[in-house]
Each structure stands twice: as C-alpha cells, then as structure tokens.
Amino acid sequence: MESDATSTGNQGLLDRLEGGGTVICAEGYLFECERRGYLQAGAYVPEVVLEHPEVVSQLHRDFVHAGSDVVEAFTYYAHRDKLRQIGREGDLEPMNRRALEIAREVARETGTLLAGNISNTNIFTPDPDVVREVRQIFTEQVAWAVEAGVDYIIAETFGPDEEPLLACEVIKETGLPAVVTFQPDYTEDDRRHSAGWTAAETCKRLEDKGADVVGLNCGLGPRTMLPYLPAVRAAVSVPIAALPVPYRTHFAEPVMQSLTDPQLGMRPFPIALDPFTCTRLDIAQFTRSAYAAGVRYLGLCCGAGPHHVRAMAEALGRTPPASRYSADMTKHYYYAPEARELSAILPSPLETSSPVAQET
C-alpha cells in the first residue's frame, strides 16, 4: 500500500502512476444525482449542471473530501446523439462547458486532477458513416475539454470493440493522457456491436493505440470484475484501471443489468438496485484485492457514494479529510466495552479466481 505522500502534491496523472502510486477517481454522478432528485432516470443526461450547478459542485467536493484524487467533469452522456434523443441538442455546448467550468473550479480549489470525459454513444457500428458520426461526437466534446484546461481525458463504458479505440485516437490527437475503460462482453444477448475481443485483447489494442491507462469500468460489480484483472495485467505494460459498480453481482448474474430480485419479480436495474448495494467493507475488500492484482488506477462507477470512496482510500492506507469521521465502534453504546475497530473485522481480500473463464 502507499502513504499519504504518494497521493498529494501537484504531480500529473502519469507522474503519480509511474512513481508507483495509485490514483482514485470517483465516478457515479448519474446515479447519485438521480437519487438526490436532480436528474431523470431513463434519460440519464446531466441537465443538473445547468439547472442545479451547486449540486454538482458539492458532489465534486464530497468525493474529494472522501479521497478522490480527480474531479471528473460531469459530461457523461452529454453528447450530441443522446441530447438529440430527448430534444435538448441545443444545450450541447452550454452543458459541456458548464460541467467543465464547475469541475475546474473545484479541482483548482482542492489541488486535485481535472479530467474531461467522453462516453459510449450507444450508436456505434463499423459502418463508415456511423464511424464518422461518432468521431465527430467525440471530437467536439474533447475540444471543449482541452479548452477548459483538463489534465487528462477519460473515455469510458464502451463495449470491447472499435468504439474505445476511436475514442482513444481522438484523445491522443490532442497530446493529452488518455484513460480508456470499457465493459467486457459479458452476456450472450448483449445488444451492442462486439468485435468479440476478450478484455485482455481489448486492453492490448488500446495500449497499441496510445492509451496511457487501460482497464474496465461499470456493469460488473467488485466480485465479478476481479477475475478479469490478472489477464489484463499480463497483457499490457501501461497502468491498469478497475472501476466496478458498487453492487453485489455474482457469477450467475455478473452485471448490475442482469441482477434479479424475486421479491420484485423483475430486474431491478436501474432504479431498484438498493438491496444489492455494496457496503464500505465490500469496497475495502475489493480495493485490497485489485491492488494485489496490479491495479493502480482505482474508482467506482454507477451507484457509488462518498462513503465508498473513503473506504477505498483507507484500504490503500490513506487518511483523507473524511477519515476524521470514520467509524469507531468503541464509542457506540451497543458495542462497548468489547467493541472492535472496523479494521479488525474486515474480511480478507477476495479471490481473483472464479467459475468463469480466466481469459475473458
């Protein structure tokens, strides 16, 4: 693990990682803003940056307070095609510029890294006309991020196909570092176009395209993401990333979209996932296991809260400002006088083996 010294200062992303340190990047803005009543489930576009910018600003600060090294501009799904679908294409540039402005203000105030963000378009196919359209979607968002002075750009939540390669190419044309993550092709009935590449193969292709950090995000929960990591680590020489969703997925239902709730009689994704939410202990357990597997860029995706981020930071040996308020059961009437610190009851790291194929 690391000391606090490796997560402070004004080092850039690559300096921190090349020096052997870790970077924590808090994500999950869509779900958290929806839970707070400032964003509509279904549409899932970040209109909150225009309508309630103070909510986004405070959430950035909450995540940094909990241990995030990065303020990621809330531009996920703020792309032309997504906004066109809900009749808000006219808000495209204002929404992106305002999100970047909010993020820049908090990043500069807190001394953290500022990241731009582009995401899956949900329209990608290898058709040349579609490729040109998607490239333009990426290009305009990346240009606004560059103008805002971001330290690097995140491209995330793609399938294991050509779309993340295209996103990486657009980012690298700017000369900025690129962190590119995707969801493995985990279901037989996956409706996205897929080239059929394994997670390790996709990461290798991304590295060859110039990505500075490669890995996985979203969909998979901590337990079902871990088995992919050893093969990814072996396939590439660049730092690898792991940002699962904080839900208790399992090998029969490996992603949050496939979880079932017999009590509801339906799939709970995306608005009834509460009973499956990971505890802070689950996240600490995942963090130690992922670190042992060679992951140095860590975070959490849809569903994450600041308490999850704090658990991740503390599992790495850090003491972010929020650690002042970490649980101490010696002060709780129910447990005293035989109370134990939470650290004494944390489970051992998760195994990185599973019933699923290792080369996935």
Q: What is the pLDDT of residues 79-125, one digit of tens each?
A: 999 999 999 999 999 999 999 999 999 999 999 999 999 999 999 99
pTM over 0.85: yes
Residues 256 and 248 sit within 8 Å (Cβ to Cβ)? no
Question: Of the ranges 64-78, 239-253, 336-350, which one carries the lowest mean pLDDT score?
Answer: 336-350
Report the percentage of the chain scoring pLDDT > 90.
81
Sign (positive/negative) of CA torsion 66, 70, 73, 76?
negative
Using one digit for the tens of pLDDT, what is the confidence trace for 213-250?
999 999 999 999 999 999 999 999 999 999 999 999 99
According to DSSP, the residues that pair with 240 across neighbouring strands are 214
Q: Is the pLDDT of residue 323 over 60?
A: yes
Sign (positive/negative) of CA torsion 283, 289, 295, 296?
positive
Using one digit for the tens of pLDDT, what is the confidence trace for 194-206?
567 899 999 999 9
Q: Is the pLDDT of residue 56 over 60?
A: yes
Show the domains of the chain with their CATH numbers.
Answer: 4-345 (3.20.20.330)
Q: Which two tokens stand for residue 317?
A: 């040996």
Task: Report the C-alpha dihedral over residues 218, 219, 224, 229, rounded to 10 degrees.
Answer: -40
Q: Is the pLDDT of residue 134 over 70?
A: yes
Average pLDDT over all residues of the chain: 89
Query: Under 8 Å CB-to-CB from 156, ≥6 apart: which residues?
Result: 27, 76, 117, 118, 119, 120, 179, 180, 181, 182, 217, 218, 243, 301
Q: Which amino acid is at 43?
A: A
* Cα 26 from Cα 302, distance rounded (Å): 10
* Cα 16 from Cα 8, distance rounded (Å): 9
* Cα 12 from Cα 20, distance rounded (Å): 13
